[in-house]
Amino acid sequence: MKFLIAVEPNPARQPPPEQLPQLLRAQADTLRAQLQSGKLDCVYSTGQGAGFGIADAASVEQVWERIAENPFALFWDITVTALGDPIALTEIQVRMVTAAQPVGATSRN
Mean pLDDT of the chain: 90
87 vs 14, more confident: 14
Type of residue numbered 96: M
Confidence of residue 50 (pLDDT cuts 50, 70, 90): very high
Please state, in angstroms and rounded to a whole number, the distance separating the CA atoms of residues 88 and 105: 26
Q: What is the pTM of this model?
A: 0.77
Q: What does the pLDDT read at residue 8?
A: 96
Please state, in angstroms and rounded to a whole number, the distance separating the CA atoms of residues 27 and 15: 13
Mean pLDDT value of segment 61-76: 95
Type of residue numbered 37: S
pLDDT of 61 over the 90 cut: yes
The CATH number, out of the four listed (3.40.47.10, 3.30.70.1060, 3.30.420.40, 3.20.20.70), of the domain defined by the range 2-84: 3.30.70.1060
Q: What does the pLDDT read at residue 93?
A: 80
Dihedral, CA of residue 5, residue 36, residue 57 and residue 53, to nearest 10: 10
